[in-house]
């Protein structure tokens, strides 16, 4: 079934795009802060804190540094937000089967491409600000991208192979609904674990918050950002808390069911992934960039490769 | 590869106080480091020379909020050194008790900050949670959680009543359990180990060359500790070991501090047990200080703190000189921070547990008085210049 332009706009702006993902992302951001706080014997912020932060940033002055590339500095967070919205829309349309209207939008190659666009925008925005910490952070972001990208592509490939060599998310989901979740097989389980750690790196969460390292390079690429532009960065980061776990659920956990008790099961999958990520985040110190490269290239990428071979063998 | 300069400070999340380090980097590698102290000058020595001895003790307590008993203790040691004043036995135990409690809370504070600096906020919060009972003990003993105001020339200000001691021992048991857990956890933690092992090595020869003190020196295999080398107060009456480790990296500095906490707990327990029975006054009334010079040393949590006091027979010091441990520990960065990545250099900066406001005593003013500056006129000129830059007219 083909969707009209109106439906497309609705999908991108309201559900499951900007509005839905943004609101859910900020709520999950609160969950992150609250769980982290409880782990650390703190009280944690009130429910509305992330919304307050975002709207407050919208009202603040935007300072643009004199010795930078102004256009790039402004465009980077907007493009990053745009690519995040598109990832969320593409994954969401497939996952929710878009309220029955259409579900044939999710193409894995496009999603991987958009995820890379986000990282590239972080790099460009950081380099455009002309700040020494930002450029150092941008350099680290490049290295991190080099580290986690291959492992993540291999992880996606496992799902692709198991679904019968198709890059379409809806086909991957349909295969899982017919044969059970991919995570139940050895190759799927390995790929899921590697994928989870890749997400941690893609979202620059501890222990991979190397490019933002507050106590070293003071938020790195985001250092010179202020006001609404910083707000957009924070919003896209919050939206990644929704889009990327959704992607992982679509690839390995058999997607969502939105009928009856299935809703609870779906919710459990999502919250489970998020809580595991928060716990990883809270039990690890920041690793060095060279350690991260070693970790991804010497451990995770071979593991993902192994999973791919297993998937080809049909295990 | 081009050489870049990374400024760390004067205001930077790594530094709780204003300080300036300039890292010269090639890519991520630090090739050279330069440091500039002198942002926190508060004129303690000068103020002290206009105060009576009793007031000076309270003044030097404010040099540092963390080692707020090491400075007064070294100061009273210096004053007592002038006249060889005897200290009552009970006061000696109380002094040692307070000094060791301070070491425990200071090391825990550092552990937390170190966790924060390597992006491990959970360790930060946990360490500070376990620091809380120590502060409770301080409150029970002195009435204050910080700035205890316990030191006096010839003794201490406040007794530890024997009915409080069982309660204090109870809190100490709890701290002991937690510390052993934390020491074991940090000792076995593979993540911490892989992050800190072999990072920012300060070799023994360098530690000697830069005159490092305290845990910084002891982690480099240099067995110096004022408590053992020149025991004052009750340190020759209690049983304890000094912790020395050979490697000189950040991990060893961490382990030295953790093991020192356990040693300190041993001393605290012995002091409390002794205080149950040791009778006597807590303050030897000192009427006057004769002319002369005295030096006082004490092993603060960060290393040896040194006070020099010169008296002319009046009730105030003619000269009061303070040397804090960080003053000699900060230059060790010249040896330990070169040739390592930025991420390692920054935790190495924090690993000596630097305390900048303690360190800065003297400020050299070049060409003072040769030029008359009107601050108001300067400010107006700056505003005018900024206005022209912004609005272009």
Tens digits of per-residue pLDDT, A20-49? 999 999 999 999 999 999 988 889 899 999
Q: Is the dihedral of CA B288, B290, B293, B296 positive or negative?
A: negative
Does B194 sit within 8 Å of A291, measured CB to CB? yes
Structural domain boundaries in chain A: 5-312
Is A11 in contact with A89 (CB distance < 8 Å)?
Answer: yes
Q: What is the pTM of this model?
A: 0.85
pLDDT in tens, B243-289: 999 988 899 898 899 899 999 999 999 999 988 888 888 888 888 88
Percent of chain B with pLDDT over 90: 16
Instruction: Give residue A274's pLDDT band: very low, low, confident or very high (50, 70, 90).
Output: very high
Residue B391 C-beta-side C-alpha neighbours within 13 Å: 6
CA nearest to B15 within chain A: A215
State which residues form the domain around B175: 44-359
Instruction: Give residue A303's pLDDT band: very low, low, confident or very high (50, 70, 90).
Output: very high
**What pLDDT is attached to residue A204?**
86
* Residue A3 DSSP label: P
Evaluate whether residue B271 is within a structural domain.
Answer: yes
Residue A288 C-beta-side C-alpha neighbours within 13 Å: 20
Instruction: Give residue B41's pLDDT band: very low, low, confident or very high (50, 70, 90).
Output: confident
Distances in Å between the Cα of B41 and the Cα atoms of A141, B11, B37, B324 are 39, 15, 9, 13
Residue A97 pLDDT more than 80?
Answer: no
Q: Which of A133, A210, A284 is closest, CB to CB, to B120?
A: A284
Residue B367 pLDDT more than 80?
Answer: no
Residue A236 pLDDT more than 80?
Answer: yes
Q: Which of A36, A286, A289 is closest, CB to CB, to B118?
A: A286
**What pLDDT is attached to residue A98?**
57
Instruction: Give residue B363's pLDDT band: very low, low, confident or very high (50, 70, 90).
Output: low
Does A207 sit within 8 Å of B191, measured CB to CB? yes
Mean pLDDT score, A201-217: 84
Displacement of CA B93 from its chain's centroid (Å): 21
> Which residues in chain B touch residue A64, judged by CB atoms under 8 angstroms apart?
none
Does B343 sit within 8 Å of A286, measured CB to CB? yes
How close does chain A come to B182, measured CA to CA in Å?
A: 14
Does B126 sit within 8 Å of A132, measured CB to CB? no
Mark residue B280 as left, alpha or beta (left: phi above 0; alpha: psi -120 to 50; beta: remaining).
left
What residues of A are in the B interface, CB distance below 8 Å?
Answer: 36, 39-42, 132-133, 136, 139-140, 206-207, 209-210, 213-218, 282-291
Burial A3-39 (b: 16+ CB within 10 A, else e): beeeebebbbeebbbbebbbebbbbbbbbbbbbbbeb
**Alpha carbons B199 and A209: distance in angstroms, whole number:** 19
Q: What is the interface size between A and B, counted as CB pairs within 8 Å?
A: 80
Evaluate whether residue B388 is within a structural domain.
Answer: no
Residue B364 pLDDT more than 60?
Answer: no
Burial B141-177 (b: 16+ CB within 10 A, else e): bbeeeeebbbbbbbbbebbbeeeebeebbeebeebbe
Question: Whose CA is closest to A129, among A219, A54, A240?
Answer: A219
Q: Which of B117, B122, B191 is closest, CB to CB, to A215?
A: B117
Evaluate whether residue B51 is within a structural domain.
Answer: yes
Does A284 sit within 8 Å of B6, measured CB to CB? no
Angle between helices B89-117 and B121-142 (to 10 degrees): 160
Instruction: Give residue B93's pLDDT band: very low, low, confident or very high (50, 70, 90).
Output: very high
Q: Which of A136, A207, A214 is closest, CB to CB, to B13?
A: A214
Does A288 sit within 8 Å of B195, measured CB to CB? yes
ipTM for the predicted complex comes to 0.82
Does B7 sit within 8 Å of A286, measured CB to CB? no
> Which residues in chain B touch residue A136, judged by CB atoms under 8 angstroms apart?
4, 6, 28, 342
B136: domain CATH number is 1.10.645.10
**Cβ of B342 under 8 Å from any chain A Cβ?**
yes
Residue A51 pLDDT more than 90?
Answer: yes
Instruction: Give residue A170's pLDDT band: very low, low, confident or very high (50, 70, 90).
Output: confident
Instruction: Give the B window 269-328 contacts with A, CB below 8 Å.
Output: none
How many domains would you assign to chain B? 1
How close does chain A come to B207, measured CA to CA in Å?
A: 25
Q: CA geometry: angle at B234 spanning B51 and B329, to 5°? A: 65
**Alpha carbons B60 and B49: distance in angstroms, whole number:** 12
Q: Which of A39, A210, A287 is closest, CB to CB, to B122?
A: A39
Rg (CA), chain A: 19
Rg (CA), chain B: 23
**What pLDDT is attached to residue A103?**
59
Does B5 sit within 8 Å of A132, measured CB to CB? yes
**What pLDDT is attached to residue B102?**
92
> Of all residues in chain B, what percent are helix, strand and coil, respectively (each to 5)?
50, 15, 35
Of A87-101, A206-220, A234-248, which gets the smallest average pLDDT? A87-101
Mean pLDDT score, B279-302: 88
Interface probe for A, chosen from B182, B343, B386 (most Cβ of A below 10 Å), is B343
Mean pLDDT, chain B, as a whole number? 86
Residue B74 pLDDT more than 70?
Answer: yes
Of A65-69, A154-158, B97-101, which gets the smallest average pLDDT? A65-69
Evaluate whether residue B1 is within a structural domain.
Answer: no
Q: How many CB atoms lie within 10 A of CB B136?
A: 16
**What pLDDT is attached to residue B2?**
62
Mean pLDDT score, A103-119: 84
**What pLDDT is attached to residue B233?**
85
Of A252-256, B30-34, B112-116, B288-292, which gets the smallest average pLDDT? A252-256
Question: Whose CA is closest to A122, among A209, A28, A51?
Answer: A209
**Alpha carbons A183 and A194: distance in angstroms, whole number:** 12
Residue with the bigger pLDDT between B300 and A95: it is B300
Residue A105 pLDDT more than 80?
Answer: no
- Tokens representing B14 are 């790594």
Does B27 sit within 8 Å of A139, measured CB to CB? yes
Question: Whose CA is closest to B40, among B67, B8, B10, B60?
Answer: B10
């Amino acid at each position: 079934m083909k969707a009209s332009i109106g439906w497309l706009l609705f999908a991108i702006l309201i559900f499951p795009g900007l509005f839905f993902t943004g609101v859910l992302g900020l709520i999950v951001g609160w969950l992150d802060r609250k769980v982290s706080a409880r782990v650390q014997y703190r009280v944690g912020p009130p429910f509305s804190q992330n919304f307050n932060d975002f709207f407050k940033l919208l009202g603040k002055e935007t300072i643009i540094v004199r010795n930078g590339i102004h256009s790039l500095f402004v465009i980077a967070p907007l493009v990053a937000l745009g690519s995040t919205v598109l990832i969320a829309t593409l994954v969401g349309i497939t996952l929710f089967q878009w309220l029955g209207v259409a579900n044939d939008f999710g193409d894995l190659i496009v999603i991987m491409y958009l995820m890379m666009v986000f990282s590239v925008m972080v790099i460009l925005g950081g380099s455009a600000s002309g700040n020494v910490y930002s450029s150092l952070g941008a350099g680290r972001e490049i290295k991190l991208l080099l580290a986690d990208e291959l492992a993540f592509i291999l992880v996606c490939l496992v799902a692709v192979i198991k679904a019968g060599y198709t890059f379409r998310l809806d086909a991957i989901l349909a295969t899982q609904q017919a044969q059970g979740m991919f995570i139940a097989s050895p190759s799927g389980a390995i790929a899921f674990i590697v994928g989870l750690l890749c997400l941690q790196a893609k979202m620059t969460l501890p222990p991979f918050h190397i490019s933002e390292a507050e106590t070293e390079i003071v938020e790195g690429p985001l250092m010179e950002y202020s006001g609404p532009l910083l707000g957009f960065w924070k919003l896209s980061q919050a939206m990644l808390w929704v889009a990327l776990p959704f992607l992982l659920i679509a690839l390995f956990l058999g997607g969502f069911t939105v009928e009856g008790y299935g809703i609870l099961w779906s919710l459990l999958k999502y919250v489970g992934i998020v809580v595991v990520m928060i716990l990883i985040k809270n039990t690890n110190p920041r690793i060095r960039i060279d350690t991260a490269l070693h970790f991804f290239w010497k451990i995770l990428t071979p593991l993902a490769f192994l999973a791919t071979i297993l998937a080809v063998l049909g295990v | 590869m081009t050489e870049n300069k990374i400024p760390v400070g004067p205001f930077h999340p790594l530094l709780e106080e204003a300080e300036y380090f300039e890292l010269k980097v090639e890519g991520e590698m630090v090739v050279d480091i330069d440091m500039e102290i002198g942002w926190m000058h508060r004129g303690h020595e000068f103020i002290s020379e206009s105060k009576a001895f009793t007031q000076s003790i309270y003044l030097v307590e404010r040099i540092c909020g963390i080692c707020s008993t090491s400075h007064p203790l070294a100061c009273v040691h210096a004053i007592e050194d002038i006249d060889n004043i005897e200290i009552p036995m009970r006061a000696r135990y109380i002094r040692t008790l307070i000094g060791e409690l301070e070491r425990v809370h200071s090391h825990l504070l550092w552990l937390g900050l170190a966790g924060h600096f390597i992006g491990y906020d959970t360790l930060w919060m946990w360490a500070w949670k376990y620091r809380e009972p120590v502060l409770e003990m301080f409150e029970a003993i002195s009435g204050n959680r910080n700035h205890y105001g316990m030191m006096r020339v010839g003794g201490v200000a406040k007794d530890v009543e024997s009915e409080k001691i069982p309660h204090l021992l109870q809190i100490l048991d709890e701290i002991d359990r937690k510390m052993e857990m934390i020491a074991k956890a940090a000792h076995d933690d593979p993540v911490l180990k892989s992050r800190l092992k072999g990072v920012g090595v300060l070799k023994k020869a360098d530690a000697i060359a830069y005159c490092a003190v305290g845990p910084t020196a002891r982690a480099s295999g240099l067995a110096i500790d004022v408590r053992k080398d020149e025991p004052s107060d009750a340190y020759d009456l209690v049983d304890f070991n000094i912790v020395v480790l050979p490697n000189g990296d950040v991990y060893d500095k961490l382990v030295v501090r953790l093991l020192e906490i356990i040693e300190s707990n041993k001393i605290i327990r012995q002091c409390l047990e002794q205080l149950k029975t040791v009778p006597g006054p807590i303050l030897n009334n000192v009427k006057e200080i004769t002319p002369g010079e005295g030096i006082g040393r004490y092993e603060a949590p960060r290393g040896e703190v040194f006070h020099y006091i010169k008296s002319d027979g009046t009730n105030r010091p003619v000269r009061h000189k303070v040397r804090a441990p960080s003053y000699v520990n900060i230059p060790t960065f010249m040896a330990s921070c070169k040739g390592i990545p930025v991420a390692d250099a920054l935790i190495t900066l924090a690993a000596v547990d630097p305390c900048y406001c303690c360190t800065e005593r003297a400020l050299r003013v070049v060409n003072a008085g040769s030029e008359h500056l009107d601050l108001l006129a300067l400010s107006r000129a700056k505003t005018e210049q900024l206005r022209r830059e912004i609005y272009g007219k």
